[in-house]
Amino acid sequence: MNRAICVNTWRQFKSNNVRLILLTLLILAPLAHFTWRRCTYEYDLMEDMISYPFVASLFALIWGVGVISCERQHGTISLVLARPLTVSRYVLSKWFAVGFAASLCSLQCLFVEHAVSVILYPPLLSNLDFVANGLERVILAFGTASMLIFYSSLVTGLKDLALIVGTLFAGMVGMQFLRPILISEVCMRGAGTAGQQFMTHLTNVVGSGFAVFFFPNIPVSEILNGSSAIFTSTINFVCVVTVCLSLAIFFLSRKEFSYGQD
Amino acid sequence: MRDVNAAAVQAGGSTCQPESASGSGIEVVNLCKTYKGGRVKAIDGLSLTVRPGEALGLVGPNGAGKTTLLGCLMGFLNYQSGTISIDGLAVDDLVTRSNVGYLPERLTFDRWMTGRDFLHYHHELSGRPHKLQEAETEELLRRVDLEPSAWSKPVRKYSRGMLQRLGFAQALIGKPRYLLLDEPASGMDPHGVLVVQELLQSLRAEGLTFLLNSHQLDQIERSCDRVAFIQKGKVIKEENLRDRESSLSHTLIIKWLLDGAPVEASAFTRVTAHCGATLEQFSPEDGLARVFVDNEEDSASLIKGLVEAGVPVTRVLPELSRLQRVFIDEMRRGEKQ
Amino acid sequence: MARTKYKGTRKQPLLLYLVAGCSFMLASFLCVDKEFGLNITYDLSSPFRKQPPIKWRSRTQAISEAKLTRKPLLYAVLYKGDEFAYRLESDGLCQPEIYNYVNENFIPVKVPVSVQPVTDESLGKEFKGFTHQVNMDYQQSGLYVVPYRLLDASGRDIASTANLIELGATDPENVNPYGDSYGQRFEMGRSSGAFDSLGAHKPPLLVRYRDKEDLLEYLYLAKTWHTLKPTRGLVKWQPSSILNEKTSVRAQVKPRMLFLLADAGYDSDYFRLSSLHSKKLAAIINSKTRPVLVEYHPYEPALDKDIEYLKKQYGVNTLPAVILLDTKDGKPVVQRGNIYEGSLIDFIESGRNKLATDSEP
């Protein structure tokens, strides 16, 4: 990974006010929520109040929206690629920068929440739940970062956010409306129950693929409780990350970076 | 990747002596590039060679494809047919990248960076050793004549000239052997233009090969060895500026001292007719005359005749510079076709 | 001097592409395997999974053994490829405390389900009558307990055998050593309706547990469930000897009320939980009548020989039934059928049966 690109990505964040505000909000919101809960319900003092690992995904979103596409829009990417640097190294260092920053932010949040819980109820120090939570956060941060890098390499400017939202929305609409139609259409065409079952299974496959793509996670806490999903979830995670990064490298290396042609 | 860079750094570092430019230069053979799926032909069968140590200037009207050519030479644009090679390697080869410096036409920066940060960033990106970072970047900043007070200011506070200088400094990181400059003096004040001039001359003395794309013909005349005229994506003429001027017919402007004896038009017409030249304009109140001559011999005899006739000639200038002449000729010819 | 291998900025990372392609194919295969129900990975990985050292019996063997040893049957319903089934088999039942307890106190039978929907035939020859006994509508893997007394009973009756109130009682013999927060740390299968707070609809199917202690608590409860006596509610029962008194109506003496209940069966269980545990009804019964309880054992007819005559005497065929012995006109009035709190209160107040449905003897 190229250290200069990572450092540059992190420093670029500092100058963007909107992102800084969102980051602060995201750090403070769970803390405020838990404080409110503690103040209103007494018995929750014994519970280790740490938020779900899902917040790592939100952190990655804040850090990673438009990493590559904003550079392409401003045109600064041409100067960077004028150096002896391969596109794959560039994409990988961007991925690492976003993932690392997001996981660091979410781990910080986790430590603060856990520290507050421990201060209020010291026996919680021996509770190792938060280690599993932290690991999940890191994994989720890097997974979501890879997805963001993929979207970011396709378009310029902040349009990748629109693309993500659009895909999510399309997926939801498809699941709610298209799926029943597909299932019933096949049945009505006389393909029989076998065809209907096939369509049901197919839509289930597409739906679960969609879910894995948008939430690439290895559920560490469940695995420690004896779940069998370790193999499947690791394969899914590796698949999502490598496929996203490969597609990003592939598309970016095909793009033309021109000056003065707009 | 680091090994490649180290090798390139060693190779690049050893050529900082004059007249030792190695490698086989830039070769473009029959390049074709189209936009919009073939509808717009930006470059149409362009062939060009730049020998190592040579400075080539690119001249042409707007939209002739010069910026596209530089984009293709840097490997940013994909071309449809033809070959380009720099030192025999592909244009976006990593070794080539460390040997080539590029100054784009419209340079954009991250606005929050300071000048020094920017150069540090690019210095690190090009894989140079970290120990030399401070020293080399400061040297480059001094070379492009950027004020030290501006080095720590964010780039958004820079003027156009300062931005251009910073861009030039960036192109020189890593002591490249080739420089591709797209309008290096655009938007610069006269002092900046002079700085660029001196810089280019010193770089030529060091043996750099460069490809210069400019609209300012006088700058090209002063800095370049050869000039290529590009129109509609083709090289229509190449002119070697180091050769003696070919005998082209051109217009001379003759100025004489106004305070001396009045000069008669008749004397002028006699001398011009004798030399086979044509008098186009005669303004005794300005002390100016415009004469059209066919070749160098006529011009020499005209001057001799005027001096013998007692005209106090102070200056004899061509109306258009050499390059301007060729440019206008070629453009007119191109338009006719 | 052109290099044969391209080493430029647009160099494609072939190793990454290879890894991406392989992992994508593997992930899609696993997804298809799971969603389409092919269960190829399940079959391939079965030799590598831990098998719990539980002495599984076949069903017929288990039924005969249960009648002999008077131990409850423990059915382990394991759907192929199910997450919980794997966890139960390879993690829960493999723990020494768990399998020792199971081997000692239950008769375990393994029910592997590979074909859905589940029928007796799809499970095998020896599972005849299984779906009658165990309600398979939940489509969940889990543990199901059948007490030895109720081996011929239907799933509904097994589920409703309600001794739950008694378990939380302060009687030292019946106190649950794992705490009286029953059912909070593991989840039982639920009926499709709302979960009844009286517990009558709660079937003894375990579909989820958090850790080893929860599983142990369930097994303990399952063992003691059906061995406890059915709950008798809040009513202060009189000894059955008062049944021998002569029928008479005297102002100072409260009339006698005879309750005929089965010790197992949905209707009786529901009656016990809804009516006998109602504080209001119990207060009325205690204050206005002298209640006597006679319990029948529909699944152990040998025990009912001495009390069969009561059913014939009052013409009762279905249980539960409530009979008011000392009425104004001397004839005992019977309430059968749907007896609930309101109707019983009316019955007691008026001394008449408002919901007479059966024919006279």
pLDDT tens digit sequence for A143-194:
999 999 999 999 888 888 899 999 999 988 988 888 888 777 766 676 677 7
pLDDT tens digit sequence for B62-96:
878 888 888 888 888 888 888 999 888 888 888 88
Nearest CB partner across the interface for A85, out of B76, B95, B125: B125
Q: Hey, CA dihedral for A163, A165, A171, A176, is it positive or negative?
A: negative
Instruction: State whether B92 and C8 contact (CB < 8 Å).
Output: yes
pLDDT-derived band at C250, boundaries 50, 70, 90 = low
Question: What percent of the residues of chain B are helix, what percent strand, and what percent coil, each to the nearest 5?
Answer: 40, 25, 35
DSSP tally for chain A: helices H, then strands E: 12, 0
Same domain, C250 and C291: yes
Same domain, C103 and C172: yes
Residue A262 resides in a domain: no
Number of domains in chain A: 1
More confident residue, C196 or C61: C61
Same domain, C262 and C324: yes
Tokens 């021109």 locate to A258
Q: Is B95 an interface residue toward C (CB < 8 Å)?
A: yes
Provide the 3-class DSSP secondary structure of residue B295.
Answer: coil
pLDDT-derived band at C4, boundaries 50, 70, 90 = low
Same domain, C182 and C246: no
Residue that finishes a domain, picked among C225, C250, C268: C225
pLDDT at C193: 31
Same domain, C166 and C94: yes
Residue C161 resides in a domain: yes
> What letter would DSSP give residue C242?
G
The radius of gyration of chain C's CA atoms, rounded to the nearest angstrom, is 28
Report whether pLDDT(C113) > 60.
Answer: yes
Same domain, C208 and C251: no
Report whether pLDDT(C264) > 70.
Answer: yes
pLDDT at C198: 34
Closest CA to A31 of A45, A48, A61, A51: A51
User: B264-278: string of b/e by CB count within 10 Å (b at 16+)?
Assistant: eeeebeebbeebebe
ipTM for the whole predicted complex goes beyond 0.95 = no
pLDDT-derived band at C45, boundaries 50, 70, 90 = confident
Rounded to an integer, what distance in angstroms lies between the CA atom of residue A24 and that of residue A41? 26
Closest CA to C23 of A20, A212, A8, B111: A212
Q: Which residues of C touch A (CB under 8 A)?
A: 8-13, 16-17, 19-20, 23-24, 26-28, 30-32, 34-37, 83, 86-87, 90-92, 210-211
pLDDT tens digit sequence for A102-119:
999 999 999 888 888 888
pLDDT tens digit sequence for C66-78:
888 888 888 898 8
Residue that finishes a domain, picked among C225, C252, C267: C225
Residue A236 resides in a domain: yes
Same domain, C215 and C265: no
pLDDT at B60: 84
Do A54 and A233 meet the contact criterion of CB atoms below 8 Å apart? Answer: no
pLDDT at A98: 94
Quote the tokens at residue B316. Answer: 């004899």
The residue in chain A having the minimum alpha-carbon distance to the alpha carbon of residue B9 is A84
pLDDT at A226: 66
Same domain, C77 and C136: yes
Instruction: State whether A242 and C30 contact (CB < 8 Å).
Output: no
Q: What residue segments make up the domains of chain B, in order of their start?
A: 2-240, 250-336
Same domain, C212 and C250: no
> Which of B4, B110, B173 has the highest number of chain A CBs within 10 A, making it the mutation to test binding with A?
B110
pLDDT at C359: 40
Which chain B residues are closer than 8 Å to C10 by Cβ?
75, 92
Which chain A residues are closer than 8 Å to C17 by Cβ?
246, 250
> How high is the mean pLDDT of chain B?
83
As a whole number, mean pLDDT of residues B169-175 equals 91
pLDDT tens digit sequence for A116-154:
888 888 887 777 788 888 999 999 999 999 999 999 999
Provide the 3-class DSSP secondary structure of residue B113.
Answer: coil
Residue C27 resides in a domain: no
pLDDT at A103: 93
Q: Which A residues 119-148 touch C at CB under 8 Å?
A: none
Beta bridge partners of C143: C76, C206
As a whole number, mean pLDDT of residues C1-16 equals 75
Nearest CB partner across the interface for C31, out of A209, A227, A229: A209
From residue B158, alpha-carbon distances to A15, A125, B60, B121, C248 in Å are: 17, 54, 30, 18, 115
Same domain, C263 and C194: no
Residue C210 resides in a domain: yes
Q: Is B71 an interface residue toward A (CB < 8 Å)?
A: yes
Report whether pLDDT(C189) > 50.
Answer: no
Do C263 and C230 meet the contact criterion of CB atoms below 8 Å apart? Answer: yes
Which chain B residues are closer than 8 Å to C6 by Cβ?
90, 93
Tokens 């065409």 locate to A189
Residue C317 resides in a domain: yes
Rounded to an integer, what distance in angstroms lies between the CA atom of residue B160 and that of residue B18? 32
Rounded to an integer, what distance in angstroms lies between the CA atom of residue C335 and that of residue C330? 16
Same domain, C213 and C252: no
As a whole number, mean pLDDT of residues B166-175 equals 90
Report whether pLDDT(C354) > 60.
Answer: no
pLDDT at A261: 39
pLDDT at B247: 62
Residue type for position C66: A
Out of B229-243, C150-164, C210-224, C261-275, pick the least confident: C150-164
CA distance A161 to chain B (A): 21
| CATH number listed for the domain at residues B2-240 | 3.40.50.300
**Nearest-5° Cα angle at C37, C36 to C41:** 110
Q: Which A residues 68-97 touch B at CB under 8 Å?
A: 74-76, 78-86, 89
Do B228 and B57 meet the contact criterion of CB atoms below 8 Å apart? Answer: yes
pLDDT at C160: 67
pLDDT tens digit sequence for A14-34:
788 888 888 888 888 888 888
Residue A138 resides in a domain: yes
Number of domains in chain C: 2
Report whether pLDDT(B22) > 70.
Answer: no
CATH of the domain at C325: 3.40.30.10
Q: Chains near B, with 3+ CB pairs < 8 A? A: A, C
Residue C29 resides in a domain: no
Instruction: State whether C37 and A201 contact (CB < 8 Å).
Output: yes
Region label for B53, one of left (φ > 0), alpha (ψ between -120 and 50) or beta (otherwise): left
| Fold type of domain B250-336 | Alpha-Beta Plaits (3.30.70)
pLDDT-derived band at C187, boundaries 50, 70, 90 = very low
H/E run at residue A121: none
pLDDT at A42: 64
Report whether pLDDT(C228) > 80.
Answer: no
pLDDT tens digit sequence for B114-165:
889 899 999 999 888 889 889 999 999 998 888 888 888 898 888 888 888 8
